[in-house]
């Protein structure tokens, strides 16, 4: 990846992070930590990789994305808004009564959302179903999905993993957002799903380990995944929960709480400074 492209993506990712903070602050609830950790991956997919058209969200043959870790909706919404699916003004309505943006992704009403998710473990099955449909009806699009590391404690994730490998869904690429934190503590403390990479390998997946905040590594991994001829790919992305807002980074308390006005100002100042530095 050349420097100009990398800087451009970093700028977009910073704007996406600002949208996450704005949305969660306005909602006075939501999940900033896991939204910030997945922001770079979503930015890469929606601004660079996926074959999509914000003016035609239901375009035939488009690539699909399923946010299996649906609580990271603020990240998805911020990416979609910044990409032009709907006005960035909608972000301030996040979780408000009667507003467009529901607490978790809602495909019936929100342009660009390919699958309604939120109950953990279910999105990856839907992503596998989309990939199976593509194969069955001779479509060539790709299906991307993002799961949480804590989400891998759901049995359904492994039902889906077994299914996708057995059906040779090489058009399915699943990111695991390995930020090491879940609501009750670190994943290692609560009910460790580790080693996630070896589990996916044992389930006959193509497995790639990356730094989920490094655009070169993200791009390289997706390109490699797209070359897979028989296996689905799990990209295990080492990330930092709360990435980009200093006081939220690696703090379990920021899984599901919103910044107050003072914290909001600090967070936005940090992100504005970051944007200015790029």
The interface mask with another protein, positions 48-77, x = CB under 8 A, is: ----------------x-x-----------
Nearer to another protein, 36 or 127 (CB): 127
Cβ closer to another protein: 139 or 153?
A: 139
Q: Distance between CA 9 and CA 17 in Å, rounded?
A: 12
Contact 213, 16 (CB under 8 A): no
Q: Quote the tokens at residue 4.
A: 């100009």
Cα gap 251→185, rounded to integer Å: 9
Q: Nearest to residue 68, comparing CAs of 109, 113, 19? A: 113
Nearest alpha-carbon partner for 21 in 101, 70, 89, 75:
75
* DSSP assigned state of 110: S
What binding mask, one character per residue, do residues 128-157 give for another protein by CB under 8 A, x or -?
xxxxxxx-xx-x---------------xx-
98 vs 155 by CB, closer to another protein: 155
Q: Does 3 bind another protein (CB under 8 A)?
A: no
Are the CB atoms for 37 and 243 separated by under 8 Å? yes
Using rule CB under 8 A, residue 114 touches another protein: yes
CB nearer to another protein: give 124 or 245.
124
Which positions touch another protein (CB under 8 A)?
64, 66, 106-108, 114-116, 118-119, 121-134, 136-137, 139, 155-156, 159-160, 162-163, 166-167
């Amino acid at each position: 990846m050349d420097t100009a492209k990398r800087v451009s993506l970093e700028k977009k990712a910073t704007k996406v992070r600002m949208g996450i903070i704005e949305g969660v602050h306005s909602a006075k609830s939501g999940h900033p930590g896991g939204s910030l950790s997945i922001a770079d991956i979503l930015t890469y997919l929606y601004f660079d990789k996926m074959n999509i058209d914000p003016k035609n969200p239901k375009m035939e043959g488009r690539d699909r994305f399923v946010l299996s870790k649906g609580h990271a909706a603020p990240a998805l919404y911020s990416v979609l808004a910044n990409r032009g699916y709907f006005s960035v003004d909608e972000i301030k309505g996040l979780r408000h009564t009667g507003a467009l943006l529901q607490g978790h992704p809602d495909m019936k009403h929100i342009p660009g959302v390919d699958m309604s998710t939120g109950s953990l473990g279910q999105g990856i099955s839907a992503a596998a179903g989309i990939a199976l449909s593509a194969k069955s009806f001779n479509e060539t699009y790709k299906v991307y999905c993002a799961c949480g590391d804590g989400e891998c404690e759901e049995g359904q994730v492994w039902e889906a993993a077994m299914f996708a490998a057995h059906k040779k869904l090489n058009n399915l690429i699943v990111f695991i957002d390995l930020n090491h934190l879940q609501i009750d503590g670190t994943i290692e403390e609560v009910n460790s799903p580790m080693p996630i990479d070896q589990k996916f390998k044992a389930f006959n997946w193509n497995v790639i380990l990356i730094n989920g905040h490094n655009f070169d590594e993200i791009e390289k991994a997706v390109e490699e995944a797209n070359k897979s001829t028989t296996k689905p790919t799990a990209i295990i992305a080492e990330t930092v929960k709360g990435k980009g807002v200093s006081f939220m980074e690696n703090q379990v308390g920021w899984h599901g709480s919103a910044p107050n006005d003072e914290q909001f100002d600090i967070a936005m100042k940090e992100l504005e400074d970051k944007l200015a530095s790029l």
